[in-house]
Amino acid sequence: MSADASPIRVLAVDDHQLIRAGMATLLLPESDMLPVGKVYNGREASAKLRRSTPDITLMDLQLPVTGAFDEALAIRDESRS
């Protein structure tokens, strides 16, 4: 990564703590990627997305509370307005 480039900001969303931790751990040695959060469900993901504005979100499709697909649609719709 060049000195001028910003790292790719990544958010991990999964209801299993081990998976969230694993995703973040895999990103740590990557100089061009920065973990910006690890959250448990779709509702937390929406809130974290608004605060941390990641470039990429790695999200489990089967989440408690609200599903990833519903949250992805809501996030998309919100970002268009």
Q: Write out pLDDT tens, residues 31-65.
A: 999 999 999 888 888 888 888 888 998 888 888 77
Closest CA to 19 of 6, 32, 4, 38: 38
Q: Are 67 and 61 in contact (CB under 8 A)?
A: yes
What's the rounded Cα separation, in Å, for the pair 61 and 71?
10
Q: Are 24 and 13 in contact (CB under 8 A)?
A: no
Query: What class is the 8-75 domain?
Result: alpha beta
Q: Give pTM, 2 decimals.
A: 0.79
Given this model, what pLDDT does residue 44 score?
86
Amino acid at 10: V
